[in-house]
Structure 1
Amino acid sequence: MLKEWRHRRAVQRVKPGDGRALKRFRWWQMLTRALFHLRLTHDDGRQTLYAVDVRHQNQSEGYVKAHLYLDGRHHAESRVPAVFPVPGGTVEVRASGFGLKRCHYVTAEGAEFTLVPDPASAEGRRARLDRAHPVLSRGIGFLSRIVLVIGLVLLILQLAEQVTRAPEGLAQYVGTFTSPIDLPAWGNTVIGLVTAAASTERALRLRYHWLLDGGTG
């Protein structure tokens, strides 16, 4: 019920586009822009090309916007999470603090298909690495997950120590806890940077876990 209500709200947020042309992806936009494509074939054999363009750095209004282009022209826009109605289903877009965590075409029957990232984008380059070097790609993905697990464990240990530090608080019921790992300030900074990089790498593959990536963000 809640999911359906959120879906309807997202559809209602969609605004019509202004017809402007889709700008080509530039190499310097790899960390600030995501561009995905979807080609749909109609019953009469005619094809239409949709594109989802998200500018991560353009948050002057306090939220990220997703723009939908149809055959190279601006067709619609919405704040994320966005749900764009298209023939045969919807295009769903969701973002995290590190990029996109969802950019899928969902049919009316419930089947889901990931949109194809633009070859020039960071997501497209990551997908090309996965195709060309699958073993290396899996290794990088595994390393990202391990880094996030380690970062989460360290965060839990530090929080437990902070919560039980005050004797008049939780400590009087469960006792005090001292973390076995005491990192200096620079160590915490390094851990923060490494975990942010790991979550960014996962976002390039539209991977997201509320505890691992959400805890990092």
Structure 2
Amino acid sequence: MLILAHRGASRDAPENTLRAFNEAFSQHAHGLEFDTYQLHQDIIVFHDRWLHRTTNGSGRVLDQTITTLRSLDAGFGEQIPFLHEVLALCPGSSICNIEIKQLHDVPAWLQCFDDALHSSRLTTDNIIISSFNHRWLREIKAQRPAIQIGALTASFPVNGPAFAAELDAYSIHVTLDMIEESYVREAHQAGLKVLVYTVDMPDDMLMLKSWGVDGIFTNVPTVARATLGDYL
């Protein structure tokens, strides 16, 4: 079972910062999950629409310049990182789930992604692109079929995982509150990997392992490692 650090090791370091991502790997996570905004010609790593919860700034992310965003304190003196900075620190064997929170130009996004990937030790096999906006995923997949996409959902549709299969997704990412063993089974039968968010309690980790879930997103990779061991 993959252990992917949700916004990094976000219990122990400021979320979506280089410090949190380095801490995740020191806690032996298999990889990272983080959130991105396309802003002008750059991709920044950030979760919220507004700045005040996780930085010393205020206002909407999309109303700011890159210079302003990079001047903010995201916790313990950390900056809001660029995508290329995060990918560059990742070991070559790690998995990165890049969640898209905002996208306005798919070709420009793909160019920025390519540049970031080429400056890292990773390949497209190490990357999953996910979003709740499945239209963005469909457009990315149409322009770059080799990219692995993960369809995010917080629901249990009547037709199960069919929506993800129709997107030619690599994986389906399901909230812990909605996951059932039958859903996992249906997704596997459709050829999809199943990743579950956000899983911080050992009992939930062990339950999902027994169901054959392929990976979890967790704020506490050190707890997940202690619970699941080297299971992969």
Q: What is the TM-score normalised by the length of structure 2?
A: 0.21
Rg larger in structure: 1
Q: Greater relative contact order: 1 or 2 (C-alpha under 8 angstroms, separation 6 or more)?
A: 2
Which has a greater percent of strand?
Answer: 1
Normalising by structure 1, report the TM-score: 0.22
